[in-house]
Amino acid sequence: MSMALNIPASSALRRMWTDTNTIQKIAFAVGLALLVMAFLGPLVAPHDPDAQSLLARLRPPIGFERANPAYPLGTDELGRDILSRSLHGLRLTLMLAILGALLGLLFGGLLGLLAGVVGGRTDAVIMSAVDTQIAVPFTLIALFTLAIFGSSLQVMVIVLGLAGWEQYARIVRGDVRRLMHLPFIEAARAAGAGPRRIAFTHLLPNIVSPLVVQFTLSLSNIVLLESTLSFLGLGVQPPTATLGSMVGIGRDYMPTAPWIVIVPALLIVLLTFAVQVVGDWLRDSVDVRLRAR
């Protein structure tokens, strides 16, 4: 890539950075720290997350009475290390959320593309599916699906993927229908391009940025959904740690051992906060550029 192309891009990035406020900068830092923790943390975690040591049950974090220096953030009701479990749980929560969001993007995006390009009855069927999904609270669908199909990791990813597909479908369909009337699509059609070629080489590159924004926004919803389901005992099954299930199980020991709950709860709040602020920022900065055009 030549320098001439690089300079405007980097100055645009710098302008986007100077436009951010303090909250957004904090959110970036928090998000980055959490990403590093999620992907490097399990490598440096002091213990196996599922290893029990019944002699060291319910030990508080370092600095409190009865603390055990081998367990910096304390232990849970089975003597498992809270720090190691939180790091592994953070990674699993993030991975499930990203996989789920990708699945939703793929599924919803393709259906939206199909609805927009083909139109007619296909469009009507897909959009009424979208309307139905909007009308029914997703928590209900998730509860029902997990109860029937069990809560393995695969089912969990599929449920999380179904959680946001209708948003992508709506966005893609709307943009496609808007773009279809523009001259460059007509030109492509006149040059003999088929519907598939038009969809993937001419339309798709033009709707990438709203999709990226929607992906980030839906990611925080999906983190929340996963945590909620695991909290209720319907998500990832024990002994595997996710942040939500740690809070859900630890709640029974709260009066005597609040640290079991506090550490993962704090991580969930930080994670949703960071993802949400970044998503909002992304949406605003993409919108500004669209308006300036």
Partner 1 sequence: MLTYTLRTLVRMALTFFVIVTLVFFATRLSGNAIDFLAGEGMTQRDREILIRYYELDRSIWDQYLAFLRAFLDGNFGLSFIERRPVIQIVVERLWPSAQLLLSAIGLTLVVALPLGVIAAIWRKHWLGSAAMVVAFLGYAVPNFILAVVMVLVFAYWLNWLPVVGNGTPLHFIMPTLAMSGVLIAALTRFTRNAMLDVLGQDFMRTARAKGLPERAVILRHGLRNASITLLSVIGLQIAGLAASGSVVVESIFAWPGIGDLLVSSAIRRDYPVLQFGVITVAIAVIVINAAIDLAYAWADPRLRHQLKG
Kindly indicate which of the ranges 113-121, 199-207, 228-236, 285-293 contains the residues binding partner 1, using the contact rule CB under 8 A: 228-236
**Is cis: bond before 239, omega within 30 of 0?**
yes
Cβ-based neighbours of 186, under 8 Å, separated by 6 or more? none
In the chain, the amino acid numbered 165 is W
Q: Distance from CA of residue 53 to its chain's centroid? A: 33
What would the x/- binding string for partner 1 be over residues 13 to 42, using CB under 8 A?
----------x-------------------
Q: How far is it, in rounded angstroms, from Cα 242 to Cα 82?
A: 12
Q: Which stretch binds partner 1 (CB under 8 A): 31-39, 193-201, 226-234, 282-290?
A: 226-234
Measured CA to CA in angstroms, residue 291 lies from 187, 227, 286, 287, 288 at distances of 26, 36, 9, 6, 5
224 binds partner 1 (CB under 8 A): yes
- Would residue 11 be called left, alpha or beta, if left means φ above 0 and alpha means ψ between -120 and 50 degrees? alpha
Distance in angstroms between the alpha carbons of the first and the last residue of the chain:
25
Stretch that binds partner 1, among 63-71, 116-124, 187-195, 247-255 (CB under 8 A): 247-255
Which range in 35-43, 56-64, 88-96, 130-138 contacts partner 1 by CB under 8 A? 130-138
Q: Shortest distance, CB of residue 244 to partner 1, whole angstroms?
A: 8
Encoded tokens for 78:
């089975």
Name which of 166 and 175 has its Cβ closer to partner 1. 166
Residue 281 sits in the site that holds partner 1 (CB under 8 A) = no
Asked if 261 is part of the footprint of partner 1 (rule: CB under 8 A), the reply reads: yes
Counting contacts by CB under 8 A, is residue 146 touching partner 1? yes
Count, in order, helices (H) and strands (E) of the chain: 12, 0
d(CA 240, CA 99): 18
Q: Least distance from C-beta 255 to partner 1, angstroms? A: 5
127 interacts with partner 1 by CB under 8 A: no
Binding site for partner 1 (CB under 8 A): 23, 128, 131-132, 134-140, 143-149, 224, 227-228, 231-234, 244, 247-248, 251, 254-255, 258, 261, 265, 268-269, 272-273, 276
